[in-house]
Amino acid sequence: MSNPTGPSGTKRGPVPDPDRYMDSSEQRRTHRLTITAPLTSCILAATLYMLTLPWLPKVWVSHVDGQGTLTYAPHWPLALVSLLAAALAFGISRLLTREHTQAGHWHDLEKGIVVAVLSAGYGFLVALLATVAASVGRAPEELGTGLIGLGLLGFVLGLIGAIAVHAPALPRARVDRWTPHY
C-alpha cells in the first residue's frame, strides 16, 4: 500500500486494498466481538438486574403523555424487552458477520451494518442498566419522568460507545469500487 499525496501535496491515508482478505487472527477477533462479548454482556446485565431486584421499586414510570400524566407499570416487562431486543440485535449481527467471515472478507457497507446492529444491542443493555441504577432504593414517586430520560440517555451513550469500540476493533473491510476516496 502506498501513501500518495493529494493535489495540495498533503499526504492521504493508506490506499485500501480492494482484494483484502481476513487472516485467521481477524476471524477469531470477529468471533469474540460478535459472539463471546455480546453473550457475556447479556448474562451480566441479566445478573445485575436480578441482584438488584430487592432494592427496586415495584413499579416504574412507563409512559408520560403530553399533559405530564405519568403511567406506572411493573419493571420486569421493560427488563425482559430490553434483554430480548439486545439478544435479537446480537443474533442478527452474528448472522450477518458469519457469512462474511466464512468468505474471508466483507465490504465497508456490510461492516457498517454489522457495527450499527451490534451497537444497538449494547444500547439496549445500557438503557436497562441506566434505568436500574437510577431507581435502586428510590420510591416510584421520586423517580418521575427523569427515569425515562435516563434510559434514553443510556441507550444513546451505549450506542455511541459501542460504535466507537467496534468500528476500529472489527477487521478492516474491502473497499467497494463505488466508494469515494477523499
3-class DSSP string for 10-34: CECCCCCCCCCCCCHHHHHHHHHHH
- Give pTM, 2 decimals: 0.81
73 inside domain? yes
Say what the pLDDT of residue 2 is: 47
Say what the pLDDT of residue 154 is: 96
Say what the pLDDT of residue 144 is: 76
8 inside domain? no
Say what the pLDDT of residue 12 is: 53
Q: Are 113 and 96 in contact (CB under 8 A)?
A: yes
Domain of 128? 24-169
118 inside domain? yes
Say what the pLDDT of residue 6 is: 47
Q: Sign (positive/negative) of CA torsion 89, 91, 92, 93? A: positive
16 inside domain? no
Tell the residue number behind the cell numbers 447479556, with chain if given.
42
Say what the pLDDT of residue 145 is: 76
19 inside domain? no
pLDDT by residue for the chain (182 residues), tens only, comes to 444 554 555 555 555 455 556 667 777 787 788 899 999 999 999 999 999 999 999 888 887 887 878 888 898 998 999 999 999 999 999 998 887 776 666 778 888 899 999 999 999 999 999 999 999 988 877 877 788 889 999 999 999 999 999 999 888 776 665 555 55
Say what the pLDDT of residue 157 is: 97
Which residues make Cβ contacts (< 8 Å) with residue 6, sequence separation at least 6?
Answer: 12
Say what the pLDDT of residue 177 is: 59
> For residues 151 and 64, what is the distance between their CA atoms, to the nearest angstrom?
14
4 inside domain? no
1 inside domain? no
93 inside domain? yes
Task: Tell me which residue of 120, 118, 158 sits closest to 32, measured CA to CA.
Answer: 118
Say what the pLDDT of residue 1 is: 47
Q: How many domains does the chain have?
A: 1
Q: Are 143 and 72 in contact (CB under 8 A)?
A: no
